[in-house]
């Protein structure tokens, strides 16, 4: 990391559009143009995979597929796949909803219906459509398993794959062949939806390249137990194998140990990897996963990097995380395998937050990857806190806060008077700029090569605009821009600050 740049953290669902949820089409293109005018060189996203029922993109039924609701309906209309009257009806419904949030549940039904119509019209184009689909299948080796998983899951009433009939659970060739023969239409429709996403995403990525905007993706370290990934590759995960009636159930799961925030730790429930088998296969699944991520984005943030040094192993039968233990992770040889496959300069960012010990720091140093510095974590622990700006290093990424933090304004409003005084003493310009822009300015002034600012902080929004509150199940992942909230005046102001601190994109 040499050239200094700034970036904005904003998931596509948070973009404003005429419909019920942000997407990767017209509004995303406009956002990229806004970033270019503000001389911003990076756009950081949350995972693009289909989210869980609560809307979390960090919990998905596929680590390779992408969220169909991000497909832009207006772009489909421009292709002749939807009519203007169909869109106007939906936009009228959306206009009646309160602004400032997305409506995934409603979009699932209304957008989903229009998306299916678009797929049918696309398939009606005949030989040319089939040729495009076949080409996509050949490029996307993951597509067949992802489609099968979704179709079988629907046939089984949403039951997790380890509760399916044995032939389907264990991927018996005869059972899968029957599904492919009997459900070919459903499988094909799933594949077309992923192709339509791919086409729109490629157009968006090309616009980013034209405007000098780097796309930064996000990759959860673990995958969901009930996912196409674990179903298709059960041998790579810590599952029960020797008891037929329990085959596929988790043996060990992920989490973190008890700490100052939780007396019982955190029991995440994701199945742990069989790193011995990953190694024996040359880490081929991980190489495929990262290759897919780097098709979509230019760089990838790996969540919970510390698990690659050592991870907390919890017996699946445990009710909480207290019965876990630390187990050594794959370490540097994992990154050596990635370099051999993907090139010496791995375009990765390590999320090195949380319980970080010396072995984790040593692994980060050995990999040469940039870590993260979060300014909301910098104050209150004395002058040796590594997140304080005077402790930053060039090979790092500085954030005012992340998607899991409160907005900076909300954070400031929740501080006690003593901590506010400490922050103000350290960042004297807060008295002039206010707390939010005080932290933004501190991030831009840092020696860290990359400074990422959540869009909510650029807009100085309060805690009502928070994207996610960890540990709280309801009300997350909904915040959304209002019309024209990212104004030209804001682009001009941010451009001036990027120029002032040597972060202006070229």
Is 303 an active-site residue? yes
- Residue 365 is predicted with a pLDDT of 97
Residue 244: predicted pLDDT = 86
- Over residues 224-251, mean pLDDT: 96
Is the pLDDT score of 501 beyond 70? yes
Locate 358 and state its tokens. 């010396």
Kindly report, residue by residue over 405-437, the tens digit of the pLDDT.
999 999 999 999 999 999 999 999 898 999 999
Label residue 490 by pLDDT band (50, 70, 90). Answer: very high
pLDDT tens per residue across span 350-400:
999 988 999 999 999 999 999 999 999 999 889 999 999 999 999 999 999
At 92, list the tokens. 């009228």
- Model confidence at 262, in pLDDT bands (50, 70, 90)? confident
Distance CA 119, CA 122 (A): 5
Residue pair 215/298 in contact by the 8 Å Cβ criterion: yes
Domain 5-370+449-500: which CATH number of 3.20.20.80, 3.40.250.10, 2.60.40.10, 3.40.50.620: 3.20.20.80
| Residue range 131-159, pLDDT digits in tens | 999 999 999 999 999 999 999 999 999 99
474-497 average pLDDT score: 96
Confirm if 188 and 123 have CB atoms less than 8 A apart: yes
Does the annotation mark 351 as catalytic?
A: yes
The model's pLDDT over 124-133, given as tens digits with 9 standing for 90+, comes to: 999 999 999 9
Selecting among 404, 433, 462, 485, the annotated active-site residue is 404
Least Cα distance to 17 among 79, 64, 77 occurs for 77
Query: Domain map of the chain by residue range?
Result: 5-370+449-500
Any catalytic annotation for residue 224? Answer: no
For 235, other C-beta atoms within 10 Å of its C-beta total 11
Q: State residue 261's pLDDT score.
A: 76
**pLDDT for the residue 355:** 86
Q: Per-residue b/e over 413-423, b at no fewer than 16 CB within 10 Å? A: eebeeeeeeeb
Backbone angles phi, psi at 392, to 5 degrees: -70, 155
How far apart, in whole angstroms, are the C-alpha atoms of residue 67 and residue 316?
Answer: 29
Is the pLDDT at 506 greater than 90, yes or no?
no
Q: How far apart are CA 32 and CA 17, in angstroms?
A: 14
Q: Is the model's pTM score more than 0.85?
A: yes
Q: Is 107 exposed, middle or buried (0-12, 13-18, 19+ CB in 10 A)?
A: buried
- Are 10 and 213 a contacting pair, CB within 8 Å? no
When pLDDT is cut at 50, 70 and 90, the band that residue 2 belongs to is low
CB 308 within 8 A of CB 334: yes
CA distance 23 to 410: 27
Out of 33, 249, 295, 303, the active site residue is: 303
Task: Write down the catalytic residue from 214, 351, 352, 457.
Answer: 351
- Distance, in Å, from the CA atom of 454 to the CA atom of 442, rounded to the nearest integer, reads 14
Query: Which pLDDT score is estimated for 465?
Result: 98
For 11, 110, 201, 413, 478, the CA distances from 103, given in Å and listed in that order, are 14, 11, 22, 28, 7
Helix axis angle, 104-123 relative to 184-211, nearest 10°?
100
Percentage of the chain surpassing pLDDT 90? 95
């Amino acid at each position: 990391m040499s050239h200094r740049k700034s970036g904005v953290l904003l998931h596509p669902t948070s973009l404003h559009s005429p419909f019920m949820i942000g997407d990767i089409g017209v509004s995303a293109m406009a956002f990229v143009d806004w970033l270019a005018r503000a001389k911003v060189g990076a756009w950081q996203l949350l995972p693009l995979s289909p989210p869980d029922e609560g809307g979390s993109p960090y919990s998905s039924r596929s680590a390779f597929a992408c969220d169909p609701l991000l497909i832009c309906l207006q772009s489909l209309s421009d292709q002749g796949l939807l009519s203007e009257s169909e869109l106007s009806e939906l936009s009228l419904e959306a206009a009646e909803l309160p602004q400032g949030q997305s409506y995934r549940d409603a979009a699932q039904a209304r957008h989903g219906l229009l998306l299916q119509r678009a797929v049918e019209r696309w398939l009606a184009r005949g030989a040319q459509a089939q040729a495009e689909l076949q080409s996509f299948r050949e490029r996307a080796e993951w597509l067949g398993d992802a489609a099968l998983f979704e179709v079988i899951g629907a046939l089984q009433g949403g039951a997790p794959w380890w509760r399916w009939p044995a032939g389907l659970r264990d991927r018996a060739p005869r059972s899968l062949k029957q599904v492919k023969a009997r459900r070919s239409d459903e499988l094909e429709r799933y594949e077309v939806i992923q192709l339509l996403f791919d086409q729109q995403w490629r157009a968006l990525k090309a616009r980013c390249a034209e405007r000098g905007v780097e796309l930064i993706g996000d990759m959860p370290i673990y995958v969901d137990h009930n996912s196409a990934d674990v179903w298709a590759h059960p041998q790579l995960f810590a599952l029960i194998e020797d008891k037929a009636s329990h085959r596929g159930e988790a043996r060990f799961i992920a989490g973190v140990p008890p700490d100052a925030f939780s007396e019982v730790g955190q029991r995440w429930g994701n199945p742990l990897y069989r790193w011995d088998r990953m190694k024996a296969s040359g880490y081929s699944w991980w190489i495929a996963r990262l290759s897919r991520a780097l098709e979509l984005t230019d760089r990838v943030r790996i969540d919970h990097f510390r698990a690659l040094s050592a991870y907390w192993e919890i017996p699946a039968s445990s009710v909480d995380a207290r019965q876990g233990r630390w187990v050594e992770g794959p370490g540097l040889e994992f990154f050596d395998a990635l370099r051999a496959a993907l090139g010496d300069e791995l375009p990765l960012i390590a999320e090195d937050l949380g319980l970080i010990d010396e072995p984790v720091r040593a692994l980060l140093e050995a990999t040469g990857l940039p870590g993260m510095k979060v300014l909301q974590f910098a104050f209150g622990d004395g002058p040796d806190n590594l997140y304080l700006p005077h402790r930053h290093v060039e090979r790092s990424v500085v954030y005012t806060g992340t998607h899991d933090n409160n907005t900076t304004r909300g954070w400031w409003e929740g501080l006690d008077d003593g901590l506010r005084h400490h922050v103000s003493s350290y960042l004297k310009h807060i008295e002039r700029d206010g707390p939010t822009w005080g932290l933004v300015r501190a991030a831009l002034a840092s020696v860290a090569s990359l400074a990422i600012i959540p869009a909510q902080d650029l807009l100085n929004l309060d805690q009502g605009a928070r994207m996610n509150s960890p540990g709280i199940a309801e009300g997350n992942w909904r915040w959304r821009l209002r019309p024209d909230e990212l104004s030209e005046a804001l682009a001009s102001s941010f451009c001036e600050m990027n120029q002032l601190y040597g972060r202006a994109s070229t």
